[in-house]
Amino acid sequence: MSSQVRLRLLPSDRCLYDEPIQVKVSHLRSRQVVTIKASSTDEKGVLFSSSATYRADGNGDIDLVRDASLSGSYVGVEPMGLLRTLKPNTLNTLFIKEKALEPHMVKFSVHDEEDQILAEVTNERLLMADGVSRVSVKEGSFHGVLFTPPGTGPFPAVLDLCTVMSERRAALLANKGFVVLTLSVFQEKLGNLKMLHLDPLEEAIIFLLQQPKVGSKRISIISNSKSADVALSLAAFVPGVEAVVWISGCSANTALPLFYKKRQILPALMFDTTKVIPTQSGAVIGKYAMHDPLKEENRASVVPIEQANAHFLFVAPEDDLCWDSYTYMMEMMERLQHLGKTNFESVCYPKAGHFLEPPYGPFCPSSLNMFLKKPVLWGGESRTHAAAEVDMWKKIQEFLKSHVSCDPVQTDAKL
């Protein structure tokens, strides 16, 4: 390793997961060509890696904010390209980084044309900011994880409703000043489930509103994929929901019949496995397998969001290959507009795929689908999808802050 070449991550080697960094290399030879590599091992032990070749300027410097990659995992100027293009050594693998207490560790290194390491540094990408608390919760019929910001509050409350349990998004929202309870819509093993119940989720809402630092009288819900239609149902049927962020979801209740107060409130919209399209990668396209919720025989599964006393943010990727979330979003907006309602806003992202997450994680083109039990293509063009995640993350925070207010008097009474 060269003692002169310097690799720096600015403003620091240590940052929050959703913060960009500036990668700079100095003390190279004038116009020297080097390869910058990144690697990270996920929570399942899978190695992800990326690389890009750069030419130093006349002073021997490279700045990824300014300079273009000549070849490798991406080409052109892209400051966070090495993180976006981290790829697994096996096909159809999702990067698993869901435990909030453990940072996302990424090793960056600079290599000469003989692949000798000239410099290296490790980026520690934290999910939890200093002072944020994490507590596992098991109350009544639900279990999840509660994240609370530092300080006395009051803070708005958010229910992070997951299709697959993850702490990542909840921890990152707690860093922004929200009390967040994250839990899966599946409170039992999916293979054992014949139906879904809203009652445990209602218990979770009540629990969240009773937290000492919570100052809002009602909660927001953030959701994606299958959990997005459950979030719509909570807003339509259960008291206490002020706002819903719906990401890459359906307008109907999918996969399992939905129950509340010991009665079925919505049947399930199902899918036709014969309409799944195979591809050469081994992953399938599921977009055209879902039954049409607007056909007469399926209309009973459509969630009656028009009866919800809540604000909605609909987020739809236009290249979703899992299901047709853009069409579902347009249907819901038209239905609300027809009734004269204005309690919604929307954003759609061309060339973005189904799997929209907080920014600066590896792009996932395909991975196992829990319902089809086989790998599926999620869609999206990697670079455009990554830009959509950055924009979406800002819009989500703005929406949540504008639609859930805090009542200091209520908080004082709790304390």
Catalytic residue among 18, 67, 320, 324: 320
If one counts every other C-beta atom within 10 angstroms of the C-beta of residue 190, the result is 14
Radius of gyration for the chain, computed over Cα atoms and rounded to the nearest angstrom: 23
Alpha-carbon span 204 to 141, nearest angstrom: 9
Catalytic residue among 354, 366, 367, 382: 354
The answer to whether 337 and 368 have CB atoms below 8 angstroms apart is: no
If one counts every other C-beta atom within 10 angstroms of the C-beta of residue 341, the result is 14
Alpha-carbon span 294 to 183, nearest angstrom: 30
In angstroms, how far is CA 277 from the centroid of its own chain?
Answer: 25
In angstroms, how far is CA 381 from the centroid of its own chain?
Answer: 17
The token pair at 75 is 């080409």
The answer to whether 64 and 78 have CB atoms below 8 angstroms apart is: yes
Could you tell me whether strands 277-278 and 284-285 are parallel, antiparallel, or unpaired per DSSP bridges?
Answer: antiparallel
Alpha-carbon span 200 to 142, nearest angstrom: 5
CA atoms within 13 A on the CB side of 233: 31
Bridge partners of residue 269, in order along the sequence: 254
Catalytic residue among 225, 233, 325, 382: 225
Alpha-carbon span 230 to 46, nearest angstrom: 31
Q: Is the bond leading into 304 cis (omega within 30 degrees of zero)? A: no
Alpha-carbon span 119 to 111, nearest angstrom: 8
If one counts every other C-beta atom within 10 angstroms of the C-beta of residue 318, the result is 15
| Amino acid identity, position 165 | M
Active-site annotation holds for 391: no
The token pair at 372 is 């089809």
Active-site annotation holds for 143: no
Active-site annotation holds for 225: yes
Active site residues: 225, 320, 354
